Amino acid sequence: MAAVTARTKDMTQGSPLKLIVFFSLPVLLGNLFQQLYNMADGIIVGQFIGTDAFAAVGATGSMSFLIIGFILGCSSGFCIPVSQYFGAGNQRSLRRCVANIVWLGIAIAAIVTTVMMFATRRMLVLMDTPENIFEDSFLYIYIIFAGIPACMFYNVQAGLMRAVGDSRSPLYFLIISCAINVVLDIVFIAGLGTGVEGAALATVIAQAISGVLCLIWIIKKFPLLHPHGAEWKPDVHEILHLVGIGLPMGFQFSITAIGAVILQSAVNTLGSDIIASISAASKIQNIVFAPMETLGLTMATYCGQNLGAGRIDRIRSGMRRCTALSLLLSVICCLFVTFCSGTVALLYIKPEETAILANIIHYLRVCGLFYPALCLIFVFRNSIQGMGYGVPAMTAGLFELIARAVVAIGFVRTVGFNAAILANTLAWVAADIFLIPMYIYVIHRVKHRQMQPEPQPNTTITQEN
């Protein structure tokens, strides 16, 4: 094993369930605070500017998921080999990997930001964004996309720390950043009256600050993540290795998001009240999803480290326990939205907007019945990715895309709001139909390779001299 410091965590030894739960708790808090970025924007925009402004921000949600999701997926995927090298005890390859992640991150952030500076307005037109909210939608998402480098900056560093077992440090910086975001939201919107652009600026500035804090902390506390001298030289083989894992994860988010964009385009034809209803319900769901999503993120690190250590038995044991825990959480989340959705919705929508509030409650209660299917997506997809199989995980996104697109194109414009709800729930079921058999295939494949003289997939087991 690589040298384990007080800041890192070896997940290849000890009780799988205990490791998963204790690693997950800081990640869960971090996930919740991450969602507070969007919550703060939505609450302050909705309460201080109005329903149309809230709808304008909400109408960009699928676009943001499409592009920012790609950045998040790439960041997570690039860090999977780091967890594998850490589990294998290969510190030299780990440091070379970190250096190449830096170069790739800079290149991808620059390319994606440049493209979106030119494409944003056209995308909003193609999505049939209502005229009364179009300019606010454009202003908000344009600033968010301009901040893509800050997004990549923070998420790569947070991913590196989690890959070597530290799930607490990213949380601390995110809490600070979230507090800054809320303060700036209030200053820009309530104080200076800037409108939706103030909410976007607050998010970008806060994320940049969290990235700077992460960098300072890594420099001071994580010598394991410091490339030395020639290790900074770009390595074509390592870059291709990273691209083979990171880009499929990025595209997996984007493929799923394309379905969301198609669905949003159909929803946009139903008017700003329906847009506001689905936007508020989606923001609430993002908070509710956090415990289930966190277990999935934890399994990516857990599976990566244990794959590097050759402990396939621990991967299978951890998966059984994590799946059971995740299903239990999905039932609790379902009960929460069934009984509490109306109260939580008042954070976004004023009490007199009774029709919108009724839509939000109906949306969440129907979706809640399908949370067990969603929790399985998080666990199985991230576990497959943690074992280095990015393309199968990306393919699951195709199943979601097809399901959403069929319902959106075929039924939303005619059936209306209920079809928009079913588009998401059917997409979750479709992804599970692919992911569960694929996990069985992958676990048998890595076990078979472990028995062979060749290295395991995406892992080079050479000890440092």
Cα distances (angstroms) measured from residue 344 to each of 175, 186, 289, 371: 21, 20, 15, 18
Query: Mean pLDDT lowest for which of 50-54, 108-112, 163-167, 350-354?
Result: 50-54
Q: How far apart are CA 144 and CA 125, in angstroms?
A: 18
Give the pLDDT mean for 187-216.
86
Token digits of residue 315? 């991967």
Quick check: 268 and 50 in contact, CB under 8 A? no
Model pLDDT for residues 83-135, shown as the tens digit of each residue: 888 877 888 888 899 999 999 999 999 999 999 989 988 888 887 788 888 88
Buried b (16+ CB within 10 A) or exposed e, 274-297: bbbbbbbbbbbbbbbbbbbbbbbb
Q: Which two tokens stand for residue 220?
A: 């001071």
Residue 8's pLDDT band, with cuts at 50, 70 and 90, is low
Query: Nearest to residue 267, comparing CAs of 390, 368, 170, 127?
Result: 127
The string of DSSP letters for 125-168 reads HHTT--HHHHHHHHHHHHHHHHTHHHHHHHHHHHHHHHHTT--S
Q: What is the mean pLDDT of the chain?
A: 83
What pLDDT, on the 0 to 100 scale, is given for residue 3?
Answer: 45
Taken in order 46, 50, 55, 60, the sign of the CA dihedral is negative
CA pair distance 284, 345, nearest whole angstrom: 8
Q: What is the pTM of this model?
A: 0.71
- Higher pLDDT residue, 25 or 150? 150
Which pLDDT score is estimated for 450?
Answer: 67
Taking each helix axis from N to C terminus, what angle separates 148-163 and 272-308, rounded to the nearest 10 degrees? Answer: 40
- Give the tens place of pLDDT for each residue, 303-334: 888 887 888 888 899 999 999 999 999 999 99
Tell me the per-residue pLDDT of 222-268, one tens digit each, with 9 for 90 and over.
Answer: 888 888 888 899 888 888 888 888 888 788 777 777 877 788 778 87
Give tens-digit pLDDT for 380-421: 998 998 887 877 877 888 888 888 889 888 888 888 888 888
Which pLDDT band holds residue 452 (cuts at 50, 70, 90)?
Answer: low
Domain segments of the chain as ranges: 22-450
CA gap 375, 286 in Å, rounded: 13
d(CA 259, CA 423): 9
Rounded Cα–Cα distance for residues 100 and 232 (Å) = 7
Give the residue from 156, 38, 179 showing the smallest Cα distance to 99: 156
The whole-number average pLDDT for the span 290-310 is 84
| Residues 276, 58: Cα–Cα separation, whole Å | 7
Task: Answer yes or no: is pLDDT of 4 > 50.
Answer: no
Q: Name, in order, each residue with C-beta under 8 angstroms of 348's C-beta and a sequence gap of 6 or more.
A: 42, 43, 46, 54, 279, 280, 283, 284
Per-residue pLDDT at 5: 47
